Chains A and B, each alone.
Chain A
Amino acid sequence: MPNARRLTAAGVAFAGAALAGALAGPRANAAPNDPDGTKASPPAPVEVARAVDALMAEGWKAAGVEPRERASDAELFRRLHLDATGSIPDEDAVRGFLDSKSPKKWETAVRAALLSSGYARSMGLRWGSVLVGREYLLRTLQYRRAEQMVQALQGGMREGQTDGYAESDGPVPPLVAWLEERLARNAPWDEVARDLISASGPADENYATHFMLRYVRDGKAEELAGATARVFQGIQIQCAQCHDHPYTAWTQADFYGVAAFYARTAARREPPPPDSKRKQGPYVVFDRGAGQIRIPAPPGEQGRLILPRYLTGDVVPPGAAVDRRAELGRLVTGEKNPYFARATVNRVWSYFFGRGLVSPVDDLESTESLHPKVLEHLAADFRASGHDLRRLSEVILLTRAYQLTSAGPERGREPEVAAFARAPLRGLSAEQLFDSILTATGAEDIRTDDRRARARIERTKFALLRTFLQTFGDDEGEEAVDEGTIPQALLMLNGPLTNDAIRPRPGHPVYDRLFRMKDADARIDTIYLRALGRLPSPSERATVTAALEADAAKGPLGQAQAYADVFWSLLNSSEFVFNH
Chain B
Amino acid sequence: MKSDCHGCDGAGHVNRRGFLGLSLGSALGLALGGPRLAWADGTPAGLAGFGQAKACIVLWLAGGPSHLDTFDPKPGTATGGPVKAIDTSARGVKLSEYLPQLAGQMHDVALVRSMSTKEGNHQRARYYLHTGYVPSGTVAHPDLGALICQQKAEAGFDLPSYVSIGGATVGPGFLGVSLAPLQVTNPDKPVDNLALPGGVDDARFQRRQALRAALSQEFAGSRAGAETAGHEAVYAKADTLMHSPRAKAFDLTQEPDALRDAYGRGKFGQGVLMARRLVEEGVKVVEVQLGGWDTHQDNFNRVKALCGQLDPAFATLVRDLRERDLLKSTLVVCMGEFGRTPRINPNEGRDHFARAWSLALAGGPVRGGRVVGETSADGTEVAKRPVGAPELVSSIFHAMGVDRAHTNYTKGGRPLTAVDQEAAPIAELFA
Contact = CB atoms under 8 A, between A and B. Distances in A.
Interface of A: 135, 218-220, 222-223, 226-227, 230, 236, 238-239, 241-244, 246, 296-299, 360, 362-363, 366, 406-410, 413, 425, 427, 467, 470-471, 473-477, 479-491, 493-496, 499, 503, 537, 539-540, 543-544, 547, 561, 565-566, 568-570, 572-575, 577-578, 580
Contacts of A496: 197
B212 A406 contact: no
A407 to B, nearest CB: 4
Contacts of A495: 192-193, 197
Nearest to B235: A489
Contacts of A407: 222-223
A238 B171 contact: no
Contacts of B305: none
Given A470-B168, A566-B211, A486 B234 contact: yes
Contacts of B232: 574
A238 B219 contact: no
A244 B215 contact: no
A405 B26 CA distance: 57
A569 B215 contact: yes
Contact of A573 (B174, B212, B222): B212
A493 B238 contact: yes
Nearest to B160: A486
Nearest to B212: A569
Contacts of A230: 137-138
Given A483-B178, A496-B197, 18 more contacts: A218-B124, A241-B15, A242-B12, A297-B20, A362-B138, A409-B224, A473-B177, A474-B140, A483-B177, A483-B227, A484-B230, A487-B180, A487-B193, A490-B241, A561-B199, A565-B204, A568-B212, A570-B215
B427 interface: no
Contact of A578 (B5, B168, B199, B227): B227
Interface in B208-232: 208, 211-212, 214-216, 218-220, 222-232
B143 to A, nearest CB: 12
Contacts of B225: 410, 413, 425
B180 A427 contact: no
Given A409-B224, A482-B227, A489 B238 contact: yes
B207 A565 contact: yes
16 contacts: A135-B123, A236-B138, A238-B136, A242-B1, A243-B4, A299-B26, A363-B412, A427-B227, A473-B177, A480-B177, A481-B226, A483-B233, A484-B231, A485-B234, A490-B192, A490-B242
B157 to A, nearest CB: 12
A366 B410 CA distance: 13
B38 interface: no
B208 A568 contact: yes
A445 B237 CA distance: 34
Contacts of B222: 407-408
A573 B183 contact: no
B182 A486 contact: yes
Contacts of B176: 477, 480-482
Given A218-B121, A406-B223, A298 B18 contact: yes
Contacts of A238: 10-11, 136-138
A482 B208 CA distance: 24
Contacts of A483: 177-178, 226-227, 229-231, 233-234
Interface string B171-199: 10010111010110000000111111111
B10 A239 contact: yes
A540 B228 contact: no
A246 B2 contact: yes
B140 A476 contact: yes
Contacts of A572: 212, 235
A484 B412 contact: no
B78 interface: no
B207 A573 contact: no
B372 interface: no
Contacts of B409: none
A574 B137 contact: no
A223 B11 contact: yes
A242 B193 contact: no
Q: How large is the interface on B (under 10, 10 to 19, 20 to 34, 35 or more residues)?
A: 35 or more
A242 B238 contact: no
Contacts of B174: 477
Contacts of A470: 168, 183
Given A360-B411, A409-B224, A483-B231, A474 B171 contact: yes
Nearest to A543: B214
A135 B238 CA distance: 27
Contacts of B228: 425, 574, 578
Contacts of B234: 483-486, 488-489
Most buried by A among B137, B174, B193: B193
B39 interface: no
A490 B193 contact: yes
B47 interface: no
A60 to B, nearest CB: 20
B215 A491 contact: no
B8 interface: yes
Nearest to A532: B219
Given A487-B182, A494-B193, A540-B218, A223 B137 contact: yes
B155 interface: no
A243 B227 contact: no
A361 to B, nearest CB: 10
B82 interface: no
A243 B182 contact: no
B19 A298 contact: yes
Contact of B137 (A227, A477, A481, A489): A227
B227 A537 contact: no
A485 B180 contact: yes
4 closest A-B pairs (Cβ-Cβ)?
A483-B230, A243-B1, A489-B238, A296-B22
Given A218-B124, A238-B137, A570-B215, A246 B238 contact: no
A21 to B, nearest CB: 39
A493 B235 contact: yes
B383 interface: no
A495 B193 CA distance: 5
Given A483-B233, A566-B211, A239 B140 contact: no
B283 interface: no
Contact of A366 (B12, B136, B241, B412): B412
Contacts of A474: 140, 171
A580 B218 contact: no
A223 B241 CA distance: 43
Contacts of A298: 18-21
B355 to A, nearest CB: 14
B227 A226 contact: no
Contacts of A476: 140
B45 interface: no
B14 interface: yes
B200 interface: yes
A54 to B, nearest CB: 28
Nearest to A215: B137
Nearest to A226: B137
Contact of A242 (B11, B168, B208, B412): B11
Nearest to A139: B123
A142 B4 CA distance: 44
Contacts of A489: 234-235, 237-238
B11 A226 contact: yes
A486 B237 contact: yes
